[in-house]
Amino acid sequence: MTTPAARARLRWELVVVFALSFGASAVYAIVAILERLTRDTALADQTATINRALSDRPAFDLVYQLLQFAFGLAPVALVVFLLWSARRPHLGRLGLRADSCHGWWSQAAGGIALAAVIGIPGVGFYLGAKAIGINTAVVPTALDDYWWTIPVLVLQALRAALGEELIVVAYLFERFRRLGVGPWATILTSALLRGSYHLYQGFGGFLGNAIMGVVFGWAYRRWGRSLPLIVAHWVLDIASFVGYPLAVQLWPALFGAPAG
């Protein structure tokens, strides 16, 4: 049983971890949506860019992108440190373990299937939210076309997948379990947090990611494995980041940024 002192320490640990990661992102996203709503331009006519150039000089842009990737994994390293177990599986409390029924390859395959379940309806949801004016035009990447552009986008997708699934799902679930929070309260908290730090995209971004969070949270609660979530998220982001230029070429009216 967790003592009152240990519970208080866990609460403060949660505050620190999320203040260094997605809690801070949620606060910034809330401020961002308020700022967007107070502009003269309608929300649907605004643009939210996810991956942008960090320098107008290609070599320095690459360095900055790699630094962003590396330091962006610091919160992941923190929760790995906090939940590392001396016994194998060392990262079992983060849902990273394999057994005869759920080997690494079968978990990865499950992640690809989950990406298909989430991704196909997700495109329709985004287009619908943009059409009714509750979402910005999301530009997954505004990077110039260099030899390193696609590898960097794949790395940025991996950073997002590791961070969100290991912190917002696996870490949060483990700590809430120790605090005695019920399963559905945990799933909804995780989902609302996931939606909140996507508010900078608009209310469609919030709703779509919150729904995704419920599905991912339920899957994690059901099977206790985080690798399928990481793979699914990684595949979805790679498809979004790398496939965006092609989508703009094929369907400019649907996926292109607003003129002006």
pLDDT in tens, 141-170: 999 899 999 999 999 999 999 999 999 999
Could you tell me if residue 260 is inside a domain? no
DSSP state of 258: P
Q: Give yes or no for residue 260 having a pLDDT over 70.
A: no
**Secondary structure (DSSP) of 58-103:** HHHHHHHHHHHHHHHTHHHHHHHHHH--SSSSTTGGGT----SSS-
- Residue 88, domain extent: 4-96+103-255
| pLDDT tens profile 178-226 | 999 999 999 999 999 999 999 999 999 999 999 999 999 999 999 999 9
Residue 237, pLDDT > 80, answer: yes
Helices (H), the chain: 4-19, 22-37, 58-72, 74-83, 104-131, 149-163, 172-178, 183-196, 203-223, 227-250, 252-255
Helix (H) or strand (E) holding 137: strand 137-141
pLDDT at 257: 73
| In-domain check, residue 227 | yes
Residue 64 lies in a domain: yes
Interior angle at CA 118, CA 78 and CA 18, nearest 5: 20
In a domain? residue 28 = yes
- Nearest by Cα to 193 from 139, 239, 92, 175: 175
Whether residue 202 lies inside any domain: the answer is yes
Q: What is the structure's pLDDT at 74?
A: 98
Query: What's the total number of domains in the chain?
Result: 1
Cis peptide before 4 (omega within 30 of 0): no
Task: Quote the pTM value.
Answer: 0.95
How far is Cα 58 from Cα 170, in angstroms, rounded to an integer?
36
In a domain, 21, yes or no: yes
In a domain, 59, yes or no: yes
pLDDT score recorded for residue 249: 80
Asked if the structure places residue 145 within a domain, the reply is: yes
